[in-house]
Amino acid sequence: MRILVVEDEAKVASFVKRALEEEGYAVDSCADGAEGLERSRGGSYDLILLDVMLPARSGVEVVKELRQQKITTPVLLLTAQARTEQKVTGLDAGADDYLTKPFAIEELLARVRALLRRSSGETSGMLQIDDLMLNPATHEVTRGGQRIELTAKEYALLDYLMRNAGRVLTRPLIAERVWNQDFDTYTNVIDVYMSYLRTKIDKGRPRKLIHTVRGSGYVLKAES
């Protein structure tokens, strides 16, 4: 899942970005509303974390503009303003949720997970392909009931594959959704991580789930 953080307080932006990356999300960030609006228009993000008080354009102006342009990406507003009417203004502008500063990172991550579940249409929250199961809430991954330990980036890659099961994913598409905008698409990092994931998910098992589509990319699917 790819997230955009629009926050002009450098310490807050760095803290939030690091926490999200540790959870396996691909994160981009910027520090003013005008740039945040421009990046959001691209439609490549699964969630936008948007500070209310920003240079150039306020967070409320940004989310209002996005909704007027029919961009439905979920938006979580972050602000030090705690008055009820200020929250109502942000929600009425089109924001999906509102978190008041200072906040506990655990609450932020829980709200992020809830918004991503809602936007993806998940109900139980569990992802399952064959006997492979992934719990987005706990990051627990099992296959055949056996727990599999993954690094944050391995988990993010598997999460993306499982949410797009049966779909061939090209390397540029994987780079866009799992890594951030600074990722060098000319390296073999994706292939290396896919190899790591295959070793943990498929090695020693009669049914392989991760498949290479020569000349195209990768697909996760259960063999018939």
For the chain, give the number of residues: 224
Say yes or no: 101 and 178 in one domain: no
The closest alpha carbon to 162, from 147, 176, 181, 178, belongs to 178
Say yes or no: 97 and 160 in one domain: no
| Domain that includes residue 192, residue range | 127-220
Say yes or no: 148 and 166 in one domain: yes
Say yes or no: 154 and 116 in one domain: no
Round to whole Å and give the CA distance between 35 and 57: 9
Domain stops at, among 75, 98, 120: 120
pLDDT at 224: 59
Domain holding 167: CATH number?
1.10.10.10
pLDDT at 154: 94
Say yes or no: 97 and 174 in one domain: no
Say yes or no: 46 and 95 in one domain: yes
Instruction: Give me the helix-helix angle, 84-93 and 59-68, nearest 10°.
Output: 30
Say yes or no: 104 and 146 in one domain: no
Say yes or no: 99 and 164 in one domain: no
pLDDT at 198: 95
Task: Render each residue's pLDDT in the chain as its tens digit; 224 residues.
Answer: 889 999 999 999 999 999 999 888 889 999 999 999 999 998 689 999 999 999 999 999 999 999 999 999 999 999 887 778 888 888 999 999 999 999 999 999 999 988 988 876 555 568 899 999 999 878 899 999 999 999 989 999 999 999 899 999 998 888 888 887 667 767 889 999 999 999 999 999 999 999 999 988 999 998 75
Domain stops at, among 120, 146, 180: 120
Residue 213 near residue 221, CB atoms below 8 Å? no
pLDDT at 122: 56
Round to whole Å and give the CA distance between 186 and 126: 33
Say yes or no: 31 and 113 in one domain: yes
Inter-CA distances, 138 with 14, 24, 115, 126, Å = 23, 12, 16, 10
Say yes or no: 99 and 163 in one domain: no
Domain holding 36: CATH number?
3.40.50.2300
Domain stops at, among 120, 140, 170: 120
pLDDT at 124: 54
Say yes or no: 6 and 104 in one domain: yes
137: its two tokens: 């809430």
Number of compact structural domains in the chain: 2
Say yes or no: 41 and 137 in one domain: no
